[in-house]
Copies of this chain bind each other. A is one copy, B any other.
Amino acid sequence: MISIDPKSIATKDLHQFLLGIVAPRPIAFVSTVDENGTPNLAPYSFFNAFSSNPPIVVFSSNRRVADNTTKDTLYNIEKTGEAVINAVSYPIVRQMAVASVQYPQGVSEFKKSGLTPIASEIVRPPRVKESPAHMECKLKEIITLGEHGGAGHLIICEVVKIHLNESVVDSNNRINPHKMDLMGRMGRAYYVRASGDAIHTIYQPVLPLSVGYDALPEHVKHSPVLSGNELGILAGMEKWPEESELDALLSDADKQAIHKATEPNRLQKIHLLARKALSSNEVKKAAAILSMFE
């Protein structure tokens, strides 16, 4: 391992290590207005939800590493106590990037990015029409994390209204990640597009309890074949099959294949059969195959 003492490296390098490790980050595309009502729009990826009751989101507008200046968003939200956080989907990410340019105060990032401001219901800052989801927010508190370049602020906001484009929800009113097509921020110039083949579904109940890795047979724990993820799927089962269940879990073809798995390398052969069952989501069958090894 490479060990890094944060106090011994330049802030810009530490910043990049944090951005590369704490990823992918959701993007808050934050709309604010100054005391004269002039709108500002800027993306921030030091952002997340932190509570659902009350609904709290937090983002940071950091002091610039280069010159220790603060940003218009921070000034505006301090003055007015309001913001709209818009989600960033793939179709608007290049226009979002234009809004990240350091235009002087008073220049509208809506005009520069070509995105369309539409009125909010509760707060003064406008929403971004092209964004698939908008959260109208009221400022609760700002916590300052430091005084030098790179220092963040926790801008703690309560969500007072949510707007969702009909096109991103399924008929059961649930958000579909493929339809949302969100972009996440990685380190350097990298983003991730969170849709399509990049989406994985992992259904792991937190209750009832899973058997756990420690309850797996010894030859499974130390499998020369199965990956950590495959062992995780087995460890995540609610119950390891009993001796009496094995017959029902295995088809005639399975039994024949197990019978044919002979020495040399019988262990490997049986573990490969289990892997095949796991790859088609037949977790109980995989466990039954592995139980036939002894």
In the complex, A231 Cα to B214 Cα: how many Å?
55
In the complex, A96 Cα to B174 Cα: how many Å?
25
A190 and B177 form a contact (CB under 8 A):
yes
Task: Give chain B residues whose Cβ lies under 8 Å from the Cβ of A24.
Answer: 24-26, 182, 184, 192, 194
Task: Give chain B residues whose Cβ lies under 8 Å from the Cβ of A191.
Answer: 199-202
B197 and A197 form a contact (CB under 8 A):
yes
Task: Give chain B residues whose Cβ lies under 8 Å from the Cβ of A248.
Answer: none
User: Within the complex, which residue of B1, B14, B151, B221 is in contact with A164, where a contact is CB–CB below 8 Å?
Assistant: B1
Given contacts A1-B163, A97-B236, A229-B94, whether A46 and B46 have CB atoms under 8 Å apart is no
How far is the CB of A26 from the nearest CB of chain B, in Å?
A: 5
User: Within the complex, which residue of B21, B25, B90, B135 is in contact with A135, where a contact is CB–CB below 8 Å?
Assistant: B21
Could you say how many copies of this chain the assembly holds?
2
Identify the stretch in A58-66, A75-83, A239-247, A254-262 within 8 Å (CB) of chain B at 4 or more residues.
A58-66
B20 and A177 form a contact (CB under 8 A):
yes
* Residue on B nearest A154 in the bound complex, by CB: B50
Given contacts A21-B135, A97-B236, whether A4 and B161 have CB atoms under 8 Å apart is yes
Q: Does A70 contact B (CB under 8 A)?
A: no
Task: Give chain B residues whose Cβ lies under 8 Å from the Cβ of A15.
Answer: 52-53
Given contacts A114-B213, A152-B51, A175-B20, whether A93 and B189 have CB atoms under 8 Å apart is no
How far is the CB of A24 from the nearest CB of chain B, in Å?
A: 4
> Interface centre among A148, A173, A188, A198, by most B CB within 10 Å?
A198
Q: Does A160 contact B (CB under 8 A)?
A: yes
Q: Does A293 contact B (CB under 8 A)?
A: no
Identify the stretch in A33-41, A100-108, A266-274, A284-292 within 8 Å (CB) of chain B at 4 or more residues.
A100-108
Q: Does A209 contact B (CB under 8 A)?
A: yes
User: Within the complex, which residue of B25, B100, B166, B188 is in contact with A204, where a contact is CB–CB below 8 Å?
Assistant: B100
Q: Does A149 contact B (CB under 8 A)?
A: yes
B160 and A6 form a contact (CB under 8 A):
yes
A interface residues with partner B (beta carbon < 8 Å) = 1-6, 11, 14-26, 45-58, 60, 62-63, 65, 87, 90-98, 100-103, 111-114, 121, 130, 133-135, 143, 145-146, 148-154, 156, 159-166, 169, 173-175, 177, 180, 182-184, 186-194, 196-207, 209-210, 212-214, 216, 221, 227-233, 235-236
